[in-house]
Amino acid sequence: MGKKKAAVTLHDVANKTGVSVSTVSRVLAGKEYISPRTRQKVMATVAEMNYSPNAMARGLKSGQSNMIALVIPSIHNLMFPVLTRGVEDTARKNGYMVILCNTDEDTDAEKGYITKLRNSWVDGMIFATMLPDSHYIRELRQSGFPVVLTSRAYDKTIDAVVIDNVSASYDATCYLIGKGYRRIAFAMGPDFQLYEDRFQGYCNALKENGIPFDERLVMHETDGVNSFAGLIRKMIEEQGKPDAVFASTDNRAIVIMRTLYDMGFRIPDDIAVMGFDNVDFSSLVEPPLSTVSQPLYDIGATATRRLIHQIRAVRNTGVLDPPVVEQLETHLLIRQST
């Protein structure tokens, strides 16, 4: 069989310069106690031979890869491109690269990534998935591996960056009620804590304002976001039109808006619509969507900073710092759909 063209190594550079490998290594590491002349000569050959260090050898030696993994449901979901930029920008600024892992919210896929990556491809992992409690993630953390969660906080035993879904959702619902809407439908997501919380906030607001909760006004996603096209249609046919719809994500809100539009309703005149997330596109739809703005980029950036902090803690002290759950602020963004 053939073999790959051998890359130039430290050894080659040393030979050519007429010094030892360790000298070259020192020069490259910017160590002191190197004579200017030697340094200069080495730098010259390095440039001449176009040498660049073998990262895997370096990693094997140092036990660090300077890579982190970002585990998300799917980059296809509009929440994540923004969060991902927050992660990547922060990582790069600190000398880390990021490996992207799409799980489609599949527990086995998540587990697969963990077992594959923990053993030294990556120095730490960020989980932005919404899966319920995962044994593997706890175990990772317990074994001293840096892990940061977003979108879920477990029980504060793991570092996390979150928002207060219950109160954000409560505020949004109160706003709708304040505008005079009474029959407020809710578009529920799959069975994740995240959506339970948003639903809870909605219920709390209803109760505090003396509005009876009506189970028939909550739509449960059956088969992906698009199922809401059918759900809202069915609800209106059976229950009559609601005054407003509060969707647990912008994606759901937008699908609902389109359907409402197709059915001939005007927004917000006939029915108001409120979203959650403030995904990029929410300002571009017609009418621009009122929503709960979540600092997606910042969540990514904060999670990454925390992760890198923990990576350094492990390197320096041998153990992880105690976990911290950081809560970031959301705010109600009123545009024209309410």
What is the smallest separation between the CB atom of 146 and a second copy, expressed in angstroms?
10
Which residue lies nearer to a second copy by CB, 51 or 202? 51
Q: For residues 14-73, which are near DNA according to CB under 7 A?
A: 18-23, 25-26, 28-29, 32-35, 37-39, 53-54, 57-58, 60-62
Q: How many CB atoms lie within 10 A of CB 14?
A: 18
Minimum CB distance to DNA smaller for 35 or for 50 = 35
Residue 287 preceded by cis peptide, ω within 30: yes
Site string for a second copy, 55-94 (x = CB under 8 A): xxx-xx--x-x-x------xxx-x-xxx-xx--xx-----
Query: Smallest gap, in angstroms, from Cβ of residue 149 to a second copy?
Result: 20
Q: Which does 285 bind (CB under 5 to 8 A by kind): DNA, a second copy, none?
A: a second copy
Tell me which of DNA, a second copy, none is bound by residue 33, counting a contact when its beta carbon lies within the kind-specific cut-off of 5 to 8 angstroms: DNA
Q: Does 37 bind a second copy (CB under 8 A)?
A: no
CA angle 277, 280, 282 (to 5 degrees): 70
Should residue 1 be labelled a site residue for a second copy when binding is judged by CB under 8 A?
yes
Angstrom distance (rounded) from CA 30 to CA 164: 46
CB under 8 A: which stretch of 153-161, 193-201, 202-210, 254-262 binds a second copy?
254-262
d(CA 96, CA 304): 10
Q: Give least dist CB 88 to a second copy, A.
A: 5
DSSP strands (E only) in 19-152: 67-72, 97-102, 124-127, 147-150
Calpha distance 261→279 (Å, rounded) = 20
What DSSP string runs through 242-256? -SEEEESSHHHHHHH
Among 21, 34, 43, 99, contact with a second copy (rule: CB under 8 A): 99
Tell me the number of residues near DNA by CB under 7 A. 29
CB 199 within 8 A of CB 188: yes
CA dihedral 193, 194, 200, 206 (to 10 degrees): -160
3-state secondary structure of 272: strand
Q: Which of 248, 130, 230, 235 is nearest to 187 (CA)?
A: 248
Least distance (Å) between residue 83 CB and a second copy = 10
Q: Which partner in DNA, a second copy, none is near 37 (CB below 5 to 8 A by kind)?
A: DNA
Beta bridge mates, 101: 71
# residues contacting a second copy (CB under 8 A): 59
For 94-103, give one letter per residue: b (16+ CB within 10 A) or e: bebebeebbb
**Shortest Cβ distance from residue 237 to a second copy (Å)?**
22
Contact indicator for 173, 205 with CB cutoff of 8 Å? yes
Binding site for a second copy (CB under 8 A): 1-5, 7, 52-57, 59-60, 63, 65, 67, 74-76, 78, 80-82, 84-85, 88-89, 97-102, 115-121, 143-144, 254-255, 257-258, 261, 280-281, 284-286, 314-319
Binding site for DNA (CB under 7 A): 6-7, 9-11, 18-23, 25-26, 28-29, 32-35, 37-39, 53-54, 57-58, 60-62
